[in-house]
Structure 1
């Protein structure tokens, strides 16, 4: 069955859908606030090897400094094609885009300085395989920057939530179990959790 992320009409409307529907109705925040948090975290990242998982249509191009080496992955070639256009328009020189399964990462061990994943980790079915692979390809001192929908205190959900990572406590326990230091960002927004995980010696 064809994925919705490979349907041309949906992909073309994806950015508008996220801005007008998903962020205000499901995440209880705005895309501007979301991008502002990411920009603040990425503004001092320069000359690094960066991997983005589930890169989608490439919104990270708006907040990542252009002097980084960037690889964007996703399961949808249509979305990656849009992402490629955005990164080129922003002036990035060292970029690549690949179809990849986030739970079965084939990259070289201890290669990336920074791995980014926005909003998509809740979709990763084999979440333990994902974190294990993440640890393998991060260099010592490297970091993982993530935003992910979580369950609220009232238990209500407006979005698909992976129960294995439904709360900040569950997410922290998962990453610590695989040897990664965990830190929530000071700035948070809506029904999303923003955090970093570090590979420490």
Structure 2
């Protein structure tokens, strides 16, 4: 069955859909606030090996410094084609875009300094397989930067939250099980949780 993310019309309207519908109606914040939080976390990232899971149409091109080596992955080639154009327009030189399942990552062990996942983790079905793969590809001292909805404004039932990661505590427990340190960001917005997970150090008890 064809995914909605492979339908040309939907992909072409995706950015508008997120800005005008998902953020104000479901996430209870603006895309500007959201991107600002992520940009603040990425502003000092330079010369690193970065991979983004479920990169979509490439919004990260607007907030990641261009001197990083970047791999963008997604299940939709239509989305990745748009992402590729955006990264090229922003001046990135070292980029690769490829189809990949976030729950079945086949990349070199301990290779990446930073893994990014923006809003998509709630859609990962085999969440423990994902966490295993994340641990595998992160180098020692590497980090995972993520934003994920943990609730929806007005209890919107059309866009479902993954119950396995529907609270900060459940997300923390997931990463602890897989040997990663969970740390929520100080700045949060709307119904979204912003956090990092590290492949190093002692687990933080407070969330």
- Structure 1 residues 147-158: aligned runs within 5 Å: 147-151=147-151, 156-157=155-156
- Structure 1 residues 165-184: aligned runs within 5 Å: 165-184=165-184
Report what 2:80 is aligned to: 80
Report what 2:44 is aligned to: 44
Report what 1:26 is aligned to: 26
TM-score between both structures, scaled by the size of structure 1: 0.97
For 1:78-132, what per-residue CA distance to the aligned partner results, in whole angstroms no more than 9, with x for missing partners?
0000000000000000000000000000000000000000110000000000000
For 1:3-57, what per-residue CA distance to the aligned partner results, in whole angstroms no more than 9, with x for missing partners?
1000000000000000000000000000000000010000000000000000000
Cα separation, 1, equivalents of 2:111 and 2:154: 39
How far off is 1:155 after superposition?
9.3
Cα separation, 2, equivalents of 1:131 and 1:108: 15
Report what 1:140 is aligned to: 140
Cα separation, 2, equivalents of 1:149 and 1:125: 15
Report what 1:197 is aligned to: 197
TM-score between both structures, scaled by the size of structure 2: 0.94
Flag structure 1 segments of 5+ consecutive residues without an equivalent: none
| Residues 77 and 84 of structure 1: CA distance in aligned 2, closer, same or farther (over 3 Å) | same
Q: Are 1:110 and 2:110 counterparts?
A: yes
Cα separation, 1, equivalents of 2:190 and 2:83: 26
Cα separation, 1, equivalents of 2:29 and 2:151: 15
The total of aligned residue pairs comes to 200
Cα separation, 2, equivalents of 1:192 and 1:151: 7
